Structure 1
Amino acid sequence: METFWQIREFSKVIGKHHNTVDGWFKQMEERRLHYINRAGHEKVYDELDLQIARYIYEWREKGWSLEGIFGQLAEHCELRPFPKDYDLAAQLQAPSIDVIKNQLVQEMRTAFEEVAAAQLKELERMYEQWTVPELPLHPLPLYPSRLELRKQRLADVITRKRIEIQLEQTALHLWSTKPASERLRRVGLFRKEENREMRELFVKSYVNKYFADRVRDELDWMELHWPEESAEQQEIH
Structure 2
Amino acid sequence: MKENRHWRISDFVEELNKVFDNQHVHINTVDGWFKRLEKSSIHYINRTMETKEKIYDDLDLKIAIFIKKRRGEKWALSAISRDLPNHFELRPFPVKEDKPAPHVDDIESIKKQISEEVRRTYEELAASQIEELKNQYKQLITSLPKPPSTEEKKNQSFQAMVIQRKIESSLEEEANQAWTKLPDDQRLKRIGFFRKDIDLEKKDKFVRDYINENFMDRLKKEMELDK
Give the TM-score normalised by structure 2: 0.40
Q: Which has the higher contact order (CA 8 A, sep 6+)?
A: 2
Structure with larger Rg: 2
